[in-house]
Structure 1
Amino acid sequence: MTTRRSQRQSLSCLNCTRQKIRCSKAIPCTSCIDRGQEASCRRERVEVTSKRIKMRTKNTESAGASDRGQVDSSVRAAKNPPVEYGQPSLSGTQLESSRNFSLPVPPLVPHIHNDTMITLEFLSHGRQSILRIGDSDPQKRATMAATPTRLDIMEEHNSWDLIVTIDQAQSLLSLHQDALAWMHNVVHMPTFCKEFQMYKSAMPCDRSWLSLYYALICTTVYHADDVDLLSMGLPDTNALVQALYNRSIQSLHEANFMAVHTLRSVQTICVLLQVAYNLDQSDLISVLLSAAIRTSQSLELHRLGPDQELNSRPTNTSTDQYLIDREVKKRTWWFLVRQDWLQIPFQNTFIIHASQFNTPMPLNCYDDEIRMISDGKIAVQPYTTYTQTSYSNELHKVAIVIWKHQNRTCTAGHPGDSHEGIMRLYDQTLWADSELKQKYRAMPSFFQSSWTSSEIPGYPNQLCSIQLLSTAHKIHTVHRYFQLQSFRDKAFAYTQQSCVAISQQCIKDIETWPSNSAARMALKMWTVLTHVITCCINLTFASMFRNENILLYDGAEMQRLAKVGRETIRPAEEWSSIARRGGALLDALFEIESSLFVSTHAQFNIEDIIKRVRQVDDAFQGNLSLAPELADSFFDFNADWAFS
């Protein structure tokens, strides 16, 4: 290609110039990074031909030297004002020269950009995202943080502790792929199983891989039915789950995960969340999730850019693996987004802002390579086709509604003691309620009815019930400020109708669950346990206020359904701290409800209930606490409530 002739060098990259978009003028530039075109990001070769620039350089050489001295002294004094690149401060000699020449003054130090100071600051901090700038190999940039530690290199060829036998590990990973991977959807199980075959007899060079292995095995042992575990020769599951969980956390720290950022460390935290709440590790996992978000941002998972045709790929990675890795990164990032946004109703804050990432939602595709990739691109399935991604993608859409609700509520302003302000807040609640129900109605049919198609996998048979419970929980959360008021203040009657109706629907649905392996797996999920308890609390309060709402619902039926839910979670108390505390909470509420039939002046004291819940922890070690959903959903009101 013929070199273009121009009066000045080109600072923008060729890709941005052709597309007429703004360029950061660094190589690779941020626009190319967002589009996945780092490898092709380069400046156009230009032959500078202007003699006037040479004359200008000669005439202003002495002035430039003088001005550089002034700049150096200003830097030392830390008093120099910010300077736009291409527009340096001019000395008197330069001002005089500018009257004689029409061309702009070239920068004293070329290619300095507005963000250079920040870049240099983070470079001095050793930030990995900055250290990767300028590396033309995207694969190297993505894996730079995965360099094995000295300890890993020393033990690379040594054996490692699988905790279970190789055959048991293979069976557990296979069970996880078939029955549990949909819960988190952050690990491409076919790829991980291949890696296990490579590492099973030799120490992996990456400690974070070990932490992910232990997390996957831990999650599988926890959720698997006892019948399946006994067939593998694994009887003492509770002790094994705790040992695997501890080993995963230990491996994370041995991998120095907070300083050495890897995708596997982020995946480990996402997988561990499935068991952490049930093991009474809610405080730890919430902090780890925050660390995972910052780590993923360091790895630029939030800036993957829109899906497009594959223009280039790393030379040392196949097209298929590149596409798989990209989907895994998208799934992992959106898992973190969902966890962050679904906690908004309980924390009234969030870490991830919708305007600050451009990673699209994961595509609805199969996970086996034969069906996942076709003609060098992801074979996208219609949303009505069930894949491992279907469940999580629907939750992502719900999480977006929760984020929008928070944003709209903040825009409406704090209501204070104003009735108008409270009604403005309630209008936003009604909007969120409508949006959530609309999202549920728009879900594929396999999330709303029993599955009969032979194409649907056998293990997640309860997915439609789990999705209904999840929707009910989100409706409860957006109505959280008005739930108790709705039983006595008719201005908020819709809250009562909406929450009570969907709570009834959920518990009646659970009554129809069969006693099989899939149902027992579902009842071990921390989300299912939390959602069932939330529905039971709502139904119990409905029963308490039955005399004031005789025409709206049957109080005796509310009481019956609440006790059905209580019995549903009772078997889970053996392995779940959420079930133990939730059961004690419901028992305390049932006692208060019973006392209402004896005295119309019974007192509802939150401190007494908390003491009752804490008593169930006496037989267990550690400081147990309610799951965040239960701690905040219903108890945001005055301590004493008189039923008179």
Structure 2
Amino acid sequence: MSANRKRLACVECTRRKIRCDKVVPCRNCTRRGIDCSRARDDGDDQVERLQSRVQELEAALRDARAGRSTASPVQLERGPSATVSVASVDRTTEHPEREIEDAATILEFLAWGRRKNPDYGQVVARRDGLEQHSPGDITAEYDGEDRHLGPGTASALAYVQSLLPPRPQVEQLVDWHCECLLWYHGSFHSVRLREELDDFYRVSDGDLTHNQVDLRWVALLFAVLTGALACAPRATAQAWGFPEWEQTALSQRWFKAVSTCLHHGDFAACHSIHSVQAITTLTMSAHLLGFSNSLCVLLAAGARIAQSLGLHRLGPSTDDDMSPESVDREIGRRAWCQLCIQDWFSIPFCESYLISRHCANTAKPRNCRDDDMVPRSHDEPTTTSYSRFFYEVAALMPSLQDGLMSANTPYTRYEQVLEHDRRLRQLATQDLPYYLQNVPVDPSWPRHVPWARRSLAISSSHKIIMIHRKFLELSFTNPVFARTRRTCVAAARTILKEQKEAIHDGGPMLWTHQAFGVTASIILCLDLFYRNTSDPETTHHRQLVQDGLQILSHSGSNMIAQRGVHLLEALLSREQCSRPPPIGRALGGELDDRRIDLDLVGIIRNFCEQGRLRGFPRLAAGPKQVPAMDMDHGWPPVDNRIGQRSGGSGRQSVLSPSLEYLAAPYGLDGVEGLQDILSLASNYVN
């Protein structure tokens, strides 16, 4: 008999060792007039969780009807795998009417194996090693002691294990990411990550197959490593011991390792904060490495996982609360903040968004340092300060989208554009934190402050273009929308100016510099098509585009840069062909029909054909080509085109980047136009 066979005989018949008809109540117990029950399976923890949650709901209902205080210190009994703190009970009974109204839905969700509006403190994976996550889906079980599921997991993990560098290099990469990149995305807590990294090597000695290693945390580790290696200047990577070809190859394969670990960690069924952090951390490297489409899907999954964990319902931050639970909630706010930023900045490209600000109450993360978590002034630079500011910038995008969708005329739609233009300018000037303003850099500030200032100038300029994007085509031909043309051209010039300065600041290679540089060059190229060749600005703009091309051509394996170079070359070539001959210029002067010469369809077709002919690289190989069939996991290497990276060393500018054009004054249906050509180079640019 199998040891796992379910016992059907009742408890009393089993005790008396008599035959039972296995129907509750059975004939024997009915005849004797005694209670009949069947023994429960000891391993039925799902039933335990369901009964525990039912007890919670019943207790909440009793408290609501009896009019008890919501601050009752009653400790509700839970199953063996989790407990509820007093603070959790307080939050559960804070709105008893809502709890009563949602009781049916909550119970229905439990039958599905999900939770409705879970408390983040109950489901986040804590440092004590207890796995507290959502109930999860039913998964297949395999014999043996290996906790990882699926017959192919062992070989996949063996491959991922071979990608993990020695511990000293891992720690170098993690430290550099925390110091030079974390300020940009703020997705995780650096102190907590380092503690978890120490535990990883102490418990498992770096073995990914150890039964106490959470593959979703391993995904976060590889996301951190990928960001560091992909964004590091060439000289920095060389100092770590990574030759040029390996820097590109490992970055790409580490990115794929994140997906592998998430998949084999069953991240879609067993929700964890580590999965969300891994996905949001990938934003630093995905676009650089050519995985924009993959990131788009992962971010959507991350948003749903975060909502399942309750990250959208964390409420405001309590400044005087320094408990471990409070730190956990702050970590959740950071991940949620980055998800919101990524989702809302993608609106101009997909014209929809997943996260509604009206359906969440999670406040921005606390402005604090990771080592003490003490709240600090809005003007002081910390790990979270940059993300906090750009959360407000990103929040303009869903508001603009809703306004454009509700407006019925070109006039009212353009009014929405101008209103959000005004709001962004106010954020970028009046509401700017002190450390991002044009003031001398305090020596006590973190080293990333000059990089943050330059990134602010580039990103803010790009967002101005995104706000005006729907009216860009009309702005070249209709004087009513001339402000959009002037605004976008000024923003493009600012982006290219700051991009040239970024080469010498010794900072990380941020994907936004290249991506937004492509956008800026496209804007100036389009302006050339509609500008008189005798205009002095024509030569200046053409030179700026050439400078941008020069920078992009030296961006190594950056996929956005590679696509951008091909697209800009096609645009410049078309612009040269569309110029009237010298005799025509002497007789005519005005370009009254240059728009026809733009031929967007032809440019896009030529770009796609060139991409197929040149074969944009997917995954870089080593110094020698390896046949595709030599790799087991569907990651075949192809031709590697690696250029020289810049920014390895050089002076660090202390001057604030230019935001002067944002201080300019402001001023009605933008038709669908130029959208494809603005999206081609960056694919999914935020």
1:584–1:612 CA contact under 8 A, matched in 2: no
Matches within 5 A, 1:428-467: 428-441=416-429, 442-449=431-438, 452-459=441-448, 461-467=450-456
TM-score by length of 2: 0.68
Deviation at residue 570 of structure 1 after TM alignment? 1.5
Residues 1:245 and 2:295 aligned together:
no
Distance 1:248 1:153, change over 3 A: farther
Deviation at residue 348 of structure 1 after TM alignment? 1.6
Q: What is the distance in 2 between the residues matched to 1:472 and 1:581?
A: 21
1:269–1:285 CA contact under 8 A, matched in 2: yes
Deviation at residue 338 of structure 1 after TM alignment? 1.2
Q: What is the distance in 2 between the residues matched to 1:19 and 1:144?
A: 26
Higher RCO, 1 vs 2 (CA within 8 Å, ≥6 residues apart) = 2
The alignment partner of 1:172 has SS state of: helix
Could you say which residue in structure 1 is the equivalent of 2:199? 198
Could you say which residue in structure 2 is the equivalent of 1:358? 361
Name the % identity. 26
What code does the residue aligned with 1:197 have?
D
1:402-435 Cα deviation digits (max 9, x unpaired): 122122223323xxxxxxx111111111111111
1:166-212 Cα deviation digits (max 9, x unpaired): 11111111111111111221111121112111212153431101111
Residues 1:577 and 2:559 aligned together:
yes
The alignment partner of 1:308 has SS state of: coil
Deviation at residue 155 of structure 1 after TM alignment? 6.3
Deviation at residue 138 of structure 1 after TM alignment? 11
The alignment partner of 1:37 has SS state of: helix
Distance 1:408 1:595, change over 3 A: same
Could you say which residue in structure 1 is the equivalent of 2:271? 261
What code does the residue aligned with 1:154 have?
D
Alignment RMSD: 3.9
Residues 1:500 and 2:489 aligned together:
yes
Q: Which moved more, 1:136-145 or 1:509-518?
A: 136-145
2:368–2:384 CA contact under 8 A, matched in 1: yes
Matches within 5 A, 1:482-501: 482-501=471-490
1:123–1:130 CA contact under 8 A, matched in 2: no
Distance 1:488 1:169, change over 3 A: same
The alignment partner of 1:533 has SS state of: helix
2:113–2:136 CA contact under 8 A, matched in 1: no
What code does the residue aligned with 2:383 have?
Q
TM-score by length of 1: 0.72
Q: What is the distance in 1 between the residues matched to 2:248 and 2:673?
A: 29
The alignment partner of 1:443 has SS state of: coil
Could you say which residue in structure 1 is the equivalent of 2:227? 219
Deviation at residue 506 of structure 1 after TM alignment? 2.6
Could you say which residue in structure 2 is the equivalent of 1:387? 382
Deviation at residue 349 of structure 1 after TM alignment? 1.2
Could you say which residue in structure 2 is the equivalent of 1:540? 525
Could you say which residue in structure 2 is the equivalent of 1:605? 599
Distance 1:610 1:179, change over 3 A: same
Residues 1:526 and 2:511 aligned together:
yes
2:395 is aligned, of 359, 380, 400, to 400
2:515–2:560 CA contact under 8 A, matched in 1: yes
1:242-283 Cα deviation digits (max 9, x unpaired): 221121110010101100100001111111122112222222
Deviation at residue 450 of structure 1 after TM alignment? 6.9
Distance 1:529 1:10, change over 3 A: closer
Distance 1:595 1:368, change over 3 A: same
Could you say which residue in structure 1 is the equivalent of 2:569? 587
Which 4+ runs in 1 deviate beyond 6 A?
Answer: 41-44, 130-142, 146-153
Could you say which residue in structure 1 is the equivalent of 2:666? none
The alignment partner of 1:480 has SS state of: helix
Q: Could you tell me which runs of 5 or more consecutive residues in structure 2 were left unpaired when the two chains were aligned.
A: 1-59, 149-156, 582-590, 620-637, 639-671, 679-686
Q: What is the distance in 2 between the residues matched to 1:298 and 1:526?
A: 30
1:346 is aligned, of 346, 349, 359, to 349
Deviation at residue 240 of structure 1 after TM alignment? 0.9
The alignment partner of 1:367 has SS state of: coil
Could you say which residue in structure 1 is the equivalent of 2:170? 169
Could you say which residue in structure 2 is the equivalent of 1:565? 548
Distance 1:168 1:14, change over 3 A: farther
Distance 1:19 1:493, change over 3 A: farther
Deviation at residue 556 of structure 1 after TM alignment? 1.6
Q: What is the distance in 2 between the residues matched to 1:556 and 1:257?
A: 53
Q: What is the distance in 2 between the residues matched to 1:27 and 1:127?
A: 20
Matches within 5 A, 1:134-173: 143-145=132-134, 154=146, 161=162, 163-173=164-174
Could you say which residue in structure 2 is the equivalent of 1:125? 112
1:162–1:169 CA contact under 8 A, matched in 2: no
2:566–2:607 CA contact under 8 A, matched in 1: yes
1:183–1:392 CA contact under 8 A, matched in 2: yes
Distance 1:490 1:328, change over 3 A: same
What code does the residue aligned with 2:265 have?
A
The alignment partner of 2:317 has SS state of: coil
Deviation at residue 622 of structure 1 after TM alignment? 5.0
What code does the residue aligned with 2:539 have?
A
Deviation at residue 474 of structure 1 after TM alignment? 0.9
Deviation at residue 223 of structure 1 after TM alignment? 0.7
What code does the residue aligned with 2:230 have?
Y
Q: What is the distance in 2 between the residues matched to 1:443 and 1:247?
A: 38
1:129–1:298 CA contact under 8 A, matched in 2: yes
1:13–1:27 CA contact under 8 A, matched in 2: no
Distance 1:555 1:295, change over 3 A: same
Deviation at residue 508 of structure 1 after TM alignment? 2.5
Residues 1:291 and 2:322 aligned together:
no
What code does the residue aligned with 2:512 have?
T
What code does the residue aligned with 2:604 have?
I
2:529–2:598 CA contact under 8 A, matched in 1: no
1:531-576 Cα deviation digits (max 9, x unpaired): 11111111122222222995xx72221211122222122211x311
Q: What is the distance in 1 between the residues matched to 2:99 and 2:516?
A: 55
2:315–2:362 CA contact under 8 A, matched in 1: yes
Q: Which moved more, 1:9-18 or 1:222-231?
A: 9-18
1:207–1:251 CA contact under 8 A, matched in 2: yes
Residues 1:115 and 2:97 aligned together:
no
1:27–1:134 CA contact under 8 A, matched in 2: no
1:485–1:492 CA contact under 8 A, matched in 2: yes
Could you say which residue in structure 2 is the equivalent of 1:620? 616
Q: Which moved more, 1:133-142 or 1:260-269?
A: 133-142
What code does the residue aligned with 1:560 have?
Q
2:118–2:309 CA contact under 8 A, matched in 1: no
Q: Could you tell me which runs of 5 or more consecutive residues in structure 1 were left unpaired when the two chains were aligned.
A: 1-8, 21-25, 45-84, 87-110, 312-318, 373-378, 414-420, 625-631, 639-644
Q: What is the distance in 1 between the residues matched to 2:513 and 2:171?
A: 27
Distance 1:583 1:42, change over 3 A: closer
Q: What is the distance in 1 between the residues matched to 2:117 and 2:67?
A: 21
Q: What is the distance in 2 between the residues matched to 1:136 and 1:428?
A: 41
Residues 1:517 and 2:506 aligned together:
yes
The alignment partner of 2:598 has SS state of: strand
